[in-house]
Amino acid sequence: MGLATFDSAIRQYLAPKASPQHLVDILAVLDKLAPASQTDASHAFHDLAERIRRRGLIVVLSDFLDNLEELMLGMAHFRHKKHEVLAFHILDPREIDFPFDDFMEFEDMETGQRMPVQARLVQREAKRQAEAFIADLRQRCRQHAIEYVPVRTSDPVEWTLMSYLGKRSRMG
């Protein structure tokens, strides 16, 4: 298992190794990751697809809130290079359930921009848009033979990843 982290370029790359300590190193890097203000996942995916020589399993952990067409082209590049690709879609449960009903101020996590909203007035549309986005991403993944796995931020990413990979290994 290896790891690549990126924002507008690849920032950290741990080449694949099969050792328990390497997994500990990967989990430590994941634990310290912070959101970046700007990302270019598509560029990073194309760069990695050319860099990784041995075919393997590529696990993408993302909110996919970027140019979806470009992201899919980057992940399709992995498939073209004969890698298997898993798309772990990181979702905040509040984005899906939109449990708000009062006047609120929302802050964009990447830009810091604040916006006042009467949550009750936008609740139905916000939920519809979130569900439509998830359905679109799931369908695009299916079209490119990429496995889609939703992951809620309320669940530890490490637990979800290890649980899913363990399930896959038992299935053969």
* H helix or E strand, kind and range, residue 26: helix 20-32
pLDDT at 128 over 70: yes
Question: Taking the model in full, what pTM does it have?
Answer: 0.79
In angstroms, the CA 99 to CA 77 distance is: 38
In angstroms, the CA 6 to CA 40 distance is: 8
Q: Residue 117: its pLDDT value, please?
A: 85
pLDDT at 149 over 70: yes
Q: What is the per-residue pLDDT across 67-114, written as a single tens digit (0 to 9) for each?
A: 899 999 999 999 999 999 999 999 999 888 888 878 888 888 778 899
pLDDT band at 170 (very low <50, low <70, confident <90, very high): confident
Give the tokens for residue 48.
Answer: 């990695």
Q: What is the per-residue pLDDT across 24-75, written as a single tens digit (0 to 9) for each?
A: 999 899 889 887 777 888 999 999 999 998 999 898 988 998 889 999 999 9
Q: Residue 86: its pLDDT value, please?
A: 93
Cα R_g (the chain), whole angstroms: 17
How does DSSP assign 103-119, residue by residue? EEEEE-TTT--EEEEEH
Q: Residue 172: its pLDDT value, please?
A: 63
84-91 vs 103-107, strand pairing mode? unpaired
Domains parsed from the chain with CATH numbers: 3-171 (3.40.50)
Distances (CA, A) of 23 to 29, 55, 66, 93: 10, 19, 28, 27
Say which DSSP state 82 is in.
Answer: T
Coil vs helix vs strand at 142: helix
